[in-house]
Structure 1
Amino acid sequence: MTGTVLVTYGTRNGSTAHIAESIADTLREKGLTVETMEAASVPFVTRYDAVVIGGALYAGRWHKDARTFVRRHRNDLAERPVWFFSSGPLDTSASGQDIPPVRGVRHAMDELHARGHATFGGCLDTDADGWLARRILHSGKGGDFRDFEAVEAWAAGIAGELEH
């Protein structure tokens, strides 16, 4: 593939953005041209040959910007290879097993014939915004559970598919 891949994401506190950047870096290392952008900032997808869409999980739902992005660009996304990722479990469960996409993401994947999905651990640091985040942190359940080796391996698989 000689075109450009878009890696886009919805995030509240930046953890999902870091995962998206790691995916983009791996794709670049594999020789692909990649742009990363927050989902709310993407005006169109027609200039991209493939799209990776990520969203932070909050209470079992994908970040609003990621959901809106998929709805807004549904027709154009259906015409190109698409992958989805989620971030959010605040424990090591995402490293130890394959966590299926939440219902809304599964529906979008089916509709767009997405090529794959991965759920990665999330990160909730002490500087996180929001009432719920502060409550989770107060309960002692924050921390960084992102596994960047798993992120890079997943992105390398995408690069392999795009090379063929």
Structure 2
Amino acid sequence: MRILVGYASAHGSTAEIAHRIADVLQHPDWTVDVVEVQKIADPGSYDAVVLGSAIHNQAWLPEATEFVHHHQDVLRARPVWLFSVGMSAGLPRWLRKQGRAAQDRRMAHALRDVVRPRGHHLFSGAAWPEQFPRTSGILVRAMGVHFGDYRDWAETEAWARDIAAELVRYSRAETDHA
């Protein structure tokens, strides 16, 4: 089985999450490629796809959204999982649950009907003051956002293990039908 883990990352946090997912998906009978969405030549050559993007301005990065829309027929024909990387964990405590729900709802619904993923997961990433233009950084701080690395590697690995288990079932079903 060939598995693609594609990603769009602005500052590297999403790329690192994609690589961690790919590490967990390693299996003796599988080939797992981790590729930036702009560099994916033929998503149709893969049996399963995991796609993720950083969230900026409450949306996936344009290159990731464009990739999904451009390849929607290919993606609908195979098992697909989506992940988004935002900063809900950096919000003030009283806003985290609401922020996470809002981000998850926007991200999943924006692409759910396009590719019909088997799952979507929202991860928190890493953000540092120097990644924001001065005025944006001031605004973000005024909203009470805390900069830092909020990636939860155990959560990432658990989600990837769930995908791997589902792919094992999927490949058995495909073998049984052959």
- Using the size of structure 1 for normalisation, the TM-score is 0.84
Amino acid at match of 1:156: R
Deviation larger for 119-128 or 28-37: 28-37
Q: Number of paired residues?
A: 160
- Report the Cα distance in structure 2 between the residues aligned to 1:73 and 1:131, rounded to whole angstroms: 37
- Which residue does 2:172 correspond to in 1? none
Written as runs of structure 1 = structure 2, the 5 A alignment for 1:1-164 is 3-28=1-26, 32-91=30-89, 93=96, 101-103=104-106, 105-128=108-131, 130=133, 134-135=137-138, 141-164=146-169
- Unaligned 5+ residue runs, structure 2? 91-95, 170-178
Moved more, 62-71 or 31-40: 31-40
Q: Sequence identity, in percent?
A: 34
Alpha-carbon distance in structure 1 between the residues aligned to 2:138 and 2:56: 13
Give the greater-gyration-radius structure (CA): 2
TM-score (norm 2): 0.78
Tell me the secondary structure at the aligned position of residue 28 of structure 1.
coil
For residue 15 of structure 1, report the CA deviation from its aligned partner.
Answer: 0.6
Q: Is the 8 A contact 1:8 1:54 kept in 2?
A: yes
Shift of 1:37: 0.6
Deviations 1:30-89 (A, max 9, x none): 863200011111122011000001011112111112101101111110110000000112
Structure 1, gaps ≥5 residues long: none
Over aligned residues, Cα RMSD in angstroms? 2.6
The 1-side partners of 2:46 and 2:135 are apart by 36
2:176 equivalent in structure 1: none
